[in-house]
Structure 1
Amino acid sequence: MARPQLTPREDREVFIVPLEVRPEHIDENDHVNNVVYVGWLQDVGTAHWNARFDEETRARWAWLALRHEIDYLRPIAPDATGVTARTWVGDPQGARFSRYVRIEDGEGRLCAQGVSEWCLVDARTLRPARIPAEMLGPFQA
């Protein structure tokens, strides 16, 4: 059973990433393959991190995806244009936080939504680290 539609929290920035549907994304059912959606969730989260934090911070810290959960609600056609992803983060839970993603077609219709659980790690040692409070600021509205 699909979860209710994800809605961004008012206190969070919604980061928007355009998505390109390429021929290699299309499967034998003539729509975007499920594996592509997983890649999009990861790419969108990474793009948001890269856009909000400087090179020094990104060199010190890294994020590891621990889990992805996706609800597929409407297929995306092979010739789709204007597809976008909207993403925002939840509350930190120690070294982890959830990232929410809505994937919409060119008409703004919800096609898929996902929740990913990410873990902050020291980029050198890959050991988990508690998310510093100041790291949430750039993700807030």
Structure 2
Amino acid sequence: MFRRGHMSWDRENPFVMSLQVSVSDIDALGHANNAVYVSWLEQCAWQHSNSLGLGVDEFHRLDRAMAVVRHEIDYLASAFKGDELLLGTWLTDWDKRLRMTRQFQLVRPSDGLTVLRAITTFVCIELSSGKPRRMPEAFIRGYGQALPSSL
């Protein structure tokens, strides 16, 4: 565990997105719907990618994108209307060719509880064809700055 302020993160130096559970996030069981968590993962991944200089405009310019091929999600606790949450993400693995892995941890700061952990696997695709294609140099430079130096 790595501490940042009073938060305990699974890894060092997460990219962090703040969010608040809204009434529209709540399902018939009274807590945030499982599909909403997937939306939050996507938003966080985009924000992180944008911070690395790899936004949707750059994807279109390069005719490449990182497309989700697998989500592994562990729902550990419920989130409720009004909860303030922090969603941390890290790039944890890549082959510098096609595949990249991103890890997530969703924490509720009010009690320090980890609400969710997830791992998402991406594959680089050519936007014009939808087919897997090697990562362009811009992806290697951009995403490379967010990876641990050991990779």
Match of 1:130 in 2: 134
Q: TM-score, normalised by structure 1?
A: 0.81
| Contact 1:80–1:106 under 8 Å retained in 2 | no
| Contact 1:14–1:87 under 8 Å retained in 2 | yes
Match of 1:57 in 2: 58
Match of 2:42 in 1: 42
| Contact 1:42–1:65 under 8 Å retained in 2 | no
Gaps of 5+ in 1: 1-5
Match of 1:120 in 2: 124
Aligned residues: 133
User: Offset of 1:101 from its aligned partner?
Assistant: 0.5
Could you tell me which amino acid in structure 2 is paired with residue 32 of structure 1? A
Match of 2:18 in 1: 18
| Contact 1:95–1:130 under 8 Å retained in 2 | yes
Could you tell me which amino acid in structure 1 is paired with residue 29 of structure 2? N
**Cα shift readout 1:72-103 (whole Å, capped 9, x = no counterpart):** 1111121212x110001122134111110001
Q: Residue 128 of structure 2 aligns to a residue in which SS?
A: coil
| Contact 2:52–2:142 under 8 Å retained in 1 | no
The separation in 2 between residues aligned to 1:96 and 1:15, in whole angstroms, is: 20
Q: TM-score, normalised by structure 2?
A: 0.76
Match of 1:87 in 2: 89
The separation in 1 between residues aligned to 2:121 and 2:71, in whole angstroms, is: 7
Match of 1:101 in 2: 104
Gaps of 5+ in 2: 1-8
The structure with the greater share of residues assigned to strand is 2
The separation in 1 between residues aligned to 2:10 and 2:83, in whole angstroms, is: 23
The separation in 1 between residues aligned to 2:78 and 2:16, in whole angstroms, is: 20
Identical-pair percentage? 25
CA RMSD, Structure 1 to Structure 2 (Å)? 2.3
